[in-house]
Amino acid sequence: MSSEKQPALPNRQTPFSEAFKAFIGTDWAPYSTELPDPLPAASYAAERRGAISARFPGERLVVPAGGLKIRSNDTDYRYRPHSAFAHLTGLGTDREPDAVLVLEPTDDGHDATLYFKPRAPRDAEEFYANARYGEMWVGQRPSLDELSRLCGIRCVAIEELDDELAKNAGDTPIRIVADADPDVTARVARIRTEAGISADPAAAEEDQVDPDAELATALSELRLIKDEYEIEQLREACARTGEAFAAVVADFPEAIRRGRGERWVEGVFGLHARHAGNAVGYDTIAASGDHACTLHWIRNDGELRSGDLILIDAGIELDSLYTADITRTLPLSGTFSEAQREVYLAVLEAQEAGFEAAVPGAKFSDVHAAAIEVIARRLADWGILPVSAEESLNAETGGQHRRWMVHGTSHHLGIDVHDCAQARRENYREGTLAPGMIITIEPGLYFKSEDLLVPERFRGIGVRIEDDVLITETGNENLSAGLPRTPDDVEAWMKDILAP
């Protein structure tokens, strides 16, 4: 019961003797009978399940965690559960491969059951011979009672899932988070076929919505407004990320000295991410000099040169899986050159305009509109734009400014770095900002070294400033304000770190 079958590698296996099999299960101290404390997120997850239950009365809702994914041969990627599963169970880190949450309809809502593979007894073959799930290989995994106590959800062995999925299939509509576990999705498809239900969007009537896409949308939109636990987690993720940025700056001299300094920066940030949290929330961008103009520069194999800027876009994902997403563009020497400062100040001005627009009742797209207007005007002031700022800002006939900032200014942030990705356009890009939403504000300007339209003094300079912003009742709160943003504050902060 996993998304990917691990290939057997008989060329390396040593058969177990009968003597070993009889011996291995003997003389172990019993497992602790003490149950763990409930997860801090458990009560919030229950409320989230309540909200999704109210949205789909009478329907069976299936939310798989997903299985392990093969990296090569018999080694897997580090496991991360599907975000919808994490959100509805409160589980984070590497919990729990192959589990499936089922919300079974009742007369007045749904009953939640978590199907998973509990730890095997010590005399079972899995204990010693299964490198993916066995206790000798991956450590002690929870029992049914332990996971049930952690999540506050009834837990049942995964072997019982198939019967549950197929129960009254003809009478109980079923929806599944279809991209989490291809194996469970295929089984649900078979159950639908056998029950004579078509859920194939291609075969559906023109006005019929794909039921699984509708569930994905509802689960994404459920995350648009964060509850107090999520806000606290994102606040914490930003604080830890700020500390990691400071540690990276402290190591700039070492990164320059060693060569291939972008990798060193990535590594120092990654060390702090693994130490303070679960991991990085996305691949760190450590882009010095002209590399900063490559938006997703994650190769990070460049040198650091003292006169250059380095753009660092990085975030710590906590054990709960909530992640920060912060960018700072820093002078490696500790001081901005005149040209670097000029570009930086334009981006900062654009970000300030974004902050002013990010208030409850405004449109999500107002934040980008405010920031990009500043970008277009500065490009026009510098004589870089081939048309006026007004002409460029006409979305239908212009857009020339986008050559130097082709990305959007904001996205929702949460358990995924690009959170709420299946929310409908009218609730996302065209949606209205409301208290409890957390978005990034991240304008930039990217002047590639080969761009002949750009004055020579600006070529090879890329700047982005990215903060994580909570929409409040009265305006907004910058959760990443612990990191300096103005050039003067950046220089003073770096000086304190590098020459205390």
C-alpha dihedral sign at 85, 90, 95, 99: negative
Q: Is 440 helix (H, G, I), strand (E, B) or coil?
A: strand
- Catalytic position from the list 464, 467, 485, 491: 464
Side-chain half-sphere CA neighbours of 239 within 13 A? 7
Question: Based on CB atoms, which residue is closest to Mn ion, 185 or 440?
Answer: 440
Q: Indicate if 426 belongs to the active site.
A: no
Binding mask 452-491 toward Mn ion (x if CB under 5 A, else -) reads --------------x-------------------------
Longest dimension (CA), the chain: 84
Please report where in the chains the tokens 């890009």 appear, as a residue.
429
Q: Answer with the entry of Mn ion, ligand GLY, none that 403 interacts with (C-beta below 5 to 8 A by kind).
A: none
Q: CB-based contacts of 213: which residues, under 8 Å, 6+ apart?
A: 178, 201, 422
Q: Indicate if 210 belongs to the active site.
A: no
Q: Indicate if 82 belongs to the active site.
A: no
Q: Indicate if 313 belongs to the active site.
A: yes
Alpha carbon distance 409, 399 (integer Å): 15
Q: Indicate if 325 belongs to the active site.
A: yes
Q: What is the DSSP string of 347-402?
A: HHHHHHHHHHH-STTSBHHHHHHHHHHHHHHHHHHTT-SSS-HHHHH-TTT--GGG
φ and ψ at residue 369, rounded to 5 degrees: -60, -40
The single residue among 44, 133, 282, 382 that binds ligand GLY, judged by CB under 6 A, is: 282
Question: Based on CB atoms, which residue is closest to Mn ion, 230 or 313?
Answer: 313
Q: Does 181 bind ligand GLY (CB under 6 A)?
A: no
Q: Does 325 bind ligand GLY (CB under 6 A)?
A: yes
| Residues of this chain, 403-442, that bind Mn ion according to CB under 5 A | 440
Q: Indicate if 110 belongs to the active site.
A: no
CA dihedral 365, 368, 373, 376 (to 10 degrees): -130
Tell me the C-alpha to C-alpha distance, in Å, between residue 384 and each of 55, 342, 409: 51, 14, 21
How many positions of this chain bind ligand GLY (CB under 6 A)?
A: 7
- Catalytic position from the list 466, 467, 468, 491: 466
Q: Indicate if 411 belongs to the active site.
A: yes
| Residues of this chain, 391-430, that bind ligand GLY according to CB under 6 A | 411, 417
Alpha carbon distance 358, 114 (integer Å): 39
Q: Does 298 bind ligand GLY (CB under 6 A)?
A: no
Residue type, 500: P
The single residue among 181, 325, 468, 491 that binds Mn ion, judged by CB under 5 A, is: 325
CB of 405 to ligand GLY, least distance (A): 13
Spatial contact of 58 and 173, defined as CB atoms under 8 Å apart = yes
| Residues of this chain, 27-46, that bind ligand GLY according to CB under 6 A | none
Q: Answer with the entry of Mn ion, ligand GLY, none that 282 interacts with (C-beta below 5 to 8 A by kind).
A: ligand GLY
- Catalytic position from the list 212, 230, 313, 468: 313
Q: Which residues bind ligand GLY (CB under 6 A)?
A: 282, 313, 325, 411, 417, 442, 466
Which residues make up the interface to Mn ion (CB under 5 A)?
313, 325, 440, 466
Q: Show which residues are catalytic.
A: 74, 296, 313, 325, 407, 411, 418, 442, 446, 464, 466
